[in-house]
Structure 1
Amino acid sequence: MASTPGNQKATHLENSQGKKSQHAEEAIFYMNCRAAYLTVLKSSLENIKSKEQLSLALQQAGRNPSQKTINKYWTSQTTSLNFDDFCAILKKEKPATKNELLEAFGKIDTDKSGYILHDELFKILTTRGDKMTWEEVTSITKQADFNCSDKLDYSKFCELYLTTSEQCCKAARDRLETDPRLRQQHFGNQTEHFSHGITLPVSKASPRVSRKTDHKLAKGDSRAPSRPSSAQSSKASTSTTVTVSASSSRNTKLIIEPDTMKEWQCAQSKGCFYLEEDGEIISHKYRLHLPQRSAVCVTIKPFTVPQAEGKSCRWLSVDTALFILKENETQENLQLVSFTELQNKEVFGWRGELGAGVYWLLPFTTGCRLRKVKTQITGEAELVWRDEDGELALTREFRATLLEIFETIDLDGNGLLSLEEYNFFELRTSGEKCDQEAWAVCKENFEMKKNELTRQGFLDLNLMEANDRDGDPWDLWVTLLSLGYNKALEMTEPQERALLQERAFWGGFSPVRNFRKVFCALFQLWFLAPAFAFQRTAQLSNASACPFVIDISAERCKPRIKAISLEAGGSQLSRAVCRSVVNKGEAKVLDGSENIFIYTYRSGSRITSVIENKSENKVIIHVNNEQSKNCLNNRGLAIFAVEVAPKSMMVSQHVMALNEQEEWIYSCVHSLVC
């Protein structure tokens, strides 16, 4: 039955209200980020330069970082973190809710009395987790607000914790609103315009940035500028606008004539992109060997894993590309040959002639769509069950998922796993490799053909792992989560961290200075089933994943492709991406700055911009996407700044359509800050 106009209007209104609510939540989030950041630093363009600054900024945002959490984001290689990094951390480190806190205490309060005896509290907090001293625990138990009769009323304790945490956030927001200098630090997604009566708790909306170098406000206009105050006096800027119709972004035909390629020899390999929690994308890398000069066709596309009925394939919208580099005498000196710039739906391809030799194939995705997608998961899937005889068996759903995984890690597609293929799986899920001796043991215990593991052997291997743990599915979940599956056995998103990471809560703020240690210790106990299970919890690594397949066809010889590593793209891929954009993109000089170039290149359904700094000094470039429509970028921010080292170039951003069924406009202003 056709919907009535009234129903259509109601649906449109609901969608509009949903978008307004989402935008308002985003606005509040970035306002809180900026308020906390500017409590510690003078400018949004200034970087965090120490662990102490990071810890203090997180506390001002209502978080409560433990030392382990700080070390996760500030490693031995870290020298600084910018505002973008800070926002990304806050997205991952969610503030606690009262229900979560009460659930944590409830694991200790087994008789559900609502209290924890001081003697038990002393024992827990001085011997487990983030250990506290006797004096520190005493300072907690002496607080009259939530203690009586040698017992801690943990409901009142949680209320005070949440109230104090919110006071910290509010103090940062109030300072942002009352300090004229800080109000000019509009740096983040906050400056988007909103309509339909949405009121944001920030200063008035900013004017659009024009291409002119003079960005002074019109007379009488008291609105704050959209760029940071340090950018107001910038003497160089340039704008770029690209309008893409709904039908043109995925209609570039691959120049492939099937009739002429019937006799060509082919090779194929599969692989996968994994988006780590810190935003890094890793994937398989390959070597291609051509014994003689030949016409070659190369394609890459998301791999459609055979799906169980009702499962989604959201990763099919992920963009892919393949960069072809010629290997010379040294592996460090790779020469960019070309990349797969032609597109036909989800397939990206390249066709040309390659000489005899060895080539590196580096898979690439912008990451715009390889991102967290929140879905409602009603429960955790069962992985194993016991039959009438008490024997463990894999559930039907888990068997289907394992066969999906087998198809993905069977890189050559021959229906068997070689030791090399199995080791890519092991490195991804356990960080270790299987040697020849261990492989021989597998051969004795599991079904193999031609020294390669069969599908049944792979299933039996996972069943053995469950038996080794007496039915505990922990290690099986480690495998699934590291390969991009969620608790519903869907390869669609990274698993939420709520049950998988150490919960770190705010601390070090009056009136209770030891909140953080208390909650770190108690939340570790939340996971102690069996005892000390938290040590295993902390090792979990989540990822969003997108499998892909590479096809190589050669006219005059048999191509050979082999996966050689599973790692981040690194400097070779970064240089290849930049060089491809510089070679083929439109170049613009920042007005008033002859040494700063902005290159913009559209390849199929994506647009990439690269900044080249030819000067002898580092520069900070402010990037404003406010006028873009129906777009999403890999940074997740409409406004941000990037630092470009002297005599170097770097990717400013990758942009794609939010909805490919509608027209989208990429409109970006790059401005020199310093």
Structure 2
Amino acid sequence: MLSRLDNKSRLDQFLKECRSAYETVTGSISNDIRSKEDLELILNIMGRNPSRANMKYYWSKHTESVSFDEFCDYAGQEREVDENLLLRAFEQVDPNGDGFIERDELERVLLKYGERMTQSELKQLLDDFPYDDKGRFPFEEFCRKFADIIEECQSITKRTGAQNGVKERKNLSIKQPRPSKRSSSRLSITSLASIREQKPDEPPSPKISPRKSSTASLPRERSLSMTRKDSISSVKKSSSQTKLSIAEPKNLKSWHNIIRRGCLYVNDRCKFSSQQYRLDLATASAVWISICPQPITKELARVDLELFIFKEEDNEIKEYISCQNATIKGKYCVKTDLRSGKYRLIPYTSGCIFKQRSEESKSVAKLVKGSGEAAEITQAFIDALHHAFDSFDLDGNDLLNYEEFNNYYIRANDDECDLETWGHVTESYETKDGELTRAGFIAIHEQEALDNPDDVTELWFTLHGIGLNNSLVPDEICPFIVEIHTEDCEGHVETTSIRENADLLDRAVCANVVAKGTSKSISDLKDLQLWTYQTDTRASFVVLNQMKNPMAVKIDCSGSQNCISSIDDLKCTVKIKPEEATVGIHLMKENPTKDWSIVCYEELDQL
């Protein structure tokens, strides 16, 4: 697989670099790599930046170790991040081909498509690069300096030796945490900048603490701090709040209105990802927001969608905004008053109805019919691809732009689509006005299916990733429509790529339940409480532990009638850290036309 190494001297140099990097972490080429993290680290040391899709191939769920020979094979398949590669990537965002990119445009690209960073971190990075009096960067100079940073990262190991080198590199990269499951795996610009700034013997710079926001002057908007300890005390003060019903404003048609589409995807049990929405208000305004499911299958017609609002500063989520809400005509509606600023709107579902499939269908749909030159994809496959295309076409123009195709790519490959890949797609398949057509989208999958019609295993990974089961039924995808009405100013809304915020949303659910529900002490412990919030459609249970020790609580709702739960059972054991709240279980009606009764018992359990 070392096809890029076209002569013996390059091969020798390559193997020497492989050995040096390999021994940096393992100590010897006779020792195997024992973790996926170490494999990725050694590839990074060599200047390779494997995608998440490639890492899943290199280290599958069945992989226990990787030998030196296997590592060399993988490294040979990865391109080195060099100046030419960076040039080709940044050429994709050169609006007029003059060799420059404006600073504002570069900021937008790095914030949107690169590693997540705050505005202050981005400013610190860009201030170190050359730009002219018009605020523009020359491509070549930018990429040359960026490549110098990468080269310096690699030279650390050579200067300091194997074990010292890896220790130093780990110290230097403390500011950059390992990406989460669905985040980009691209090289972090912020971490590279920190490496360039520091000398080998210096400790890493401390991470700058986020700026605290003040809500003291906010008249009607009520904020609940999202820091774990503070959120407990904040929601406790609000526990006496009465339940309020809300009605759609009579003059709503005269308000400013923005409509956005999106999709919720199943990642794991009670973990979901979706697009998020950044709302920017120039002035304070009354706000009415609704989210309504548009399920493809009738089984998801009752899915319980909600929308949580968070305050955002410097591209970071700061605090949860508690709002009045109600379900009106199948729409989850939120009413509140927001002051000027930026907010993040994040969809949520309990997992009672929309959840990970319990088992895969035994009936596997055919993707290809015929053989040889007569082979073609089946109509069932084509129909499924049409449904998939519609779910990613968020603006409804029957085309996929870069952001929309990136959402597809994230689901299909567990990785972000870089600009070079997008350029290859638009060059190879049918486009219109620079966007991928429906026919082009189908052609991508048709080509993959017909390239090897006898083995479509990889194609099924893609189809499962975008929410289809073995019968090509989209049972792990739920499209929705978000409507945002603002009374006093015209809001600006930006749609983000698909993301998962399970921990953040769980804490918002806890804050919401404690703010609006009722409580009772568990086993006569006043600082250990079970909070319950019940509406006409759902009941939610949260355990609040205000003690100094971790606790475990059994929740038993098996005596309830006509109920389904978020965990496929009516019993669970919840482990709660000190001074934290944790979601226990959600319940919904199994048959919506019949009455339901909820009986819940709780008791302490052993950790």
Q: Deviations over 1:618-663 (max 9, x none)?
A: 2221212132111122122333322211111111211111111111
| 1:337 is the counterpart of 2:337 | no
Note the C-alpha offset of 1:376.
10
1:91 matched residue in structure 2:
none
| 1:584 is the counterpart of 2:516 | yes
2:365 matched residue in structure 1:
381
| 1:458 is the counterpart of 2:390 | no
Q: 1:414 aligns with which of 382, 386, 397?
A: 397
Name the SS for the 1:664 alignment partner: coil
Note the C-alpha offset of 1:371.
3.4
Distance in 2 (alpha carbons) for counterparts of 1:627 and 1:377:
31
Alignment check: 8 A CA contact 2:545 2:580 kept: yes
Distance in 2 (alpha carbons) for counterparts of 1:253 and 1:345:
17
2:272 matched residue in structure 1:
281
Note the C-alpha offset of 1:291.
2.6
1:356 matched residue in structure 2:
340
Alignment check: 8 A CA contact 1:342 1:604 kept: no
1:161 matched residue in structure 2:
none
| 1:557 is the counterpart of 2:489 | yes
Alignment check: 8 A CA contact 1:269 1:413 kept: no
1:262 matched residue in structure 2:
253
Note the C-alpha offset of 1:582.
1.0
Alignment check: 8 A CA contact 2:403 2:497 kept: no
Alignment check: 8 A CA contact 2:539 2:586 kept: yes
Alpha-carbon distance change, 567 to 393 in structure 1, aligned in 2, over 3 angstroms:
same
Note the C-alpha offset of 1:668.
0.8
Q: 1:325 aligns with which of 310, 315, 319?
A: 310
2:465 matched residue in structure 1:
482
For 1:151-550, list aligned pairs within 5 A: 255=246, 257=248, 260-277=251-268, 280-305=271-296, 312-328=297-313, 331-332=316-317, 334-338=318-322, 341-371=325-355, 379-385=363-369, 390=373, 392-469=375-452, 472-492=455-475, 544-550=476-482
Alignment check: 8 A CA contact 1:323 1:362 kept: yes
Note the C-alpha offset of 1:409.
1.1
Alignment check: 8 A CA contact 2:412 2:465 kept: yes
Note the C-alpha offset of 1:604.
4.3
Alignment check: 8 A CA contact 1:379 1:487 kept: yes
Name the SS for the 1:628 alignment partner: coil
Name the SS for the 2:373 alignment partner: coil
AA aligned to 1:271 is G
Name the SS for the 2:327 alignment partner: strand
Distance in 2 (alpha carbons) for counterparts of 1:70 and 1:279:
21
Alignment check: 8 A CA contact 1:342 1:603 kept: no
1:594 matched residue in structure 2:
526
Alpha-carbon distance change, 470 to 639 in structure 1, aligned in 2, over 3 angstroms:
closer
> Gaps spanning 5+ residues in structure 1: where?
1-67, 74-251, 306-311, 493-543
Q: 2:572 aligns with which of 612, 626, 640?
A: 640
Q: 1:608 aligns with which of 540, 543, 546?
A: 540
Alpha-carbon distance change, 599 to 72 in structure 1, aligned in 2, over 3 angstroms:
farther
Alignment check: 8 A CA contact 1:284 1:563 kept: yes
Distance in 2 (alpha carbons) for counterparts of 1:592 and 1:376:
45
Alignment check: 8 A CA contact 1:284 1:566 kept: yes
Note the C-alpha offset of 1:322.
0.8
Alpha-carbon distance change, 473 to 633 in structure 1, aligned in 2, over 3 angstroms:
same
Note the C-alpha offset of 1:366.
0.7
Note the C-alpha offset of 1:377.
5.9
Alpha-carbon distance change, 619 to 378 in structure 1, aligned in 2, over 3 angstroms:
closer
Q: 1:618 aligns with which of 550, 557, 563?
A: 550
2:591 matched residue in structure 1:
659
Alpha-carbon distance change, 556 to 464 in structure 1, aligned in 2, over 3 angstroms:
farther
Distance in 2 (alpha carbons) for counterparts of 1:397 and 1:254:
45
Alignment check: 8 A CA contact 1:642 1:652 kept: yes
Distance in 2 (alpha carbons) for counterparts of 1:254 and 1:415:
39
Note the C-alpha offset of 1:617.
1.4
Note the C-alpha offset of 1:372.
5.5
Alpha-carbon distance change, 442 to 643 in structure 1, aligned in 2, over 3 angstroms:
closer
Alignment check: 8 A CA contact 1:609 1:653 kept: yes
Distance in 2 (alpha carbons) for counterparts of 1:668 and 1:596:
16
Alignment check: 8 A CA contact 2:377 2:446 kept: yes
Note the C-alpha offset of 1:459.
1.7
Distance in 2 (alpha carbons) for counterparts of 1:264 and 1:606:
31
Alignment check: 8 A CA contact 1:622 1:640 kept: yes
AA aligned to 2:415 is E
Alpha-carbon distance change, 373 to 330 in structure 1, aligned in 2, over 3 angstroms:
closer
AA aligned to 2:422 is W
AA aligned to 1:298 is I
Note the C-alpha offset of 1:70.
9.2
Alignment check: 8 A CA contact 1:340 1:348 kept: no
1:51 matched residue in structure 2:
none
> Gaps spanning 5+ residues in structure 2: where?
1-58, 65-242
Q: Deviations over 1:528-552 (max 9, x none)?
A: xxxxxxxxxxxxxxxx332222221
Name the SS for the 1:314 alignment partner: helix
AA aligned to 2:518 is E
Distance in 2 (alpha carbons) for counterparts of 1:615 and 1:483:
43
AA aligned to 1:440 is G
Please provide the CA RMSD for this pair: 3.2
Distance in 1 (alpha carbons) for counterparts of 2:250 and 2:545:
47
2:218 matched residue in structure 1:
none
Alpha-carbon distance change, 304 to 570 in structure 1, aligned in 2, over 3 angstroms:
closer
Distance in 1 (alpha carbons) for counterparts of 2:383 and 2:285:
41
Alpha-carbon distance change, 642 to 426 in structure 1, aligned in 2, over 3 angstroms:
same
Q: Deviations over 1:26-84 (max 9, x none)?
A: xxxxxxxxxxxxxxxxxxxxxxxxxxxxxxxxxxxxxxxxxx999899xxxxxxxxxxx
Distance in 2 (alpha carbons) for counterparts of 1:595 and 1:451:
59
Alignment check: 8 A CA contact 1:429 1:482 kept: yes
AA aligned to 2:285 is S
Alignment check: 8 A CA contact 2:245 2:325 kept: no
Higher relative contact order, chain-length normalized (CA < 8 Å, sep 6+): 1
Q: Deviations over 1:119-143 (max 9, x none)?
A: xxxxxxxxxxxxxxxxxxxxxxxxx
Note the C-alpha offset of 1:349.
1.0
TM-score in terms of structure 1 length: 0.50
Greater mean alpha carbon deviation, residues 410-419 or residues 366-375: 366-375
Alignment check: 8 A CA contact 1:268 1:412 kept: no
Alignment check: 8 A CA contact 1:254 1:349 kept: no
Note the C-alpha offset of 1:253.
12
Q: 1:567 aligns with which of 480, 499, 505?
A: 499
AA aligned to 1:427 is I
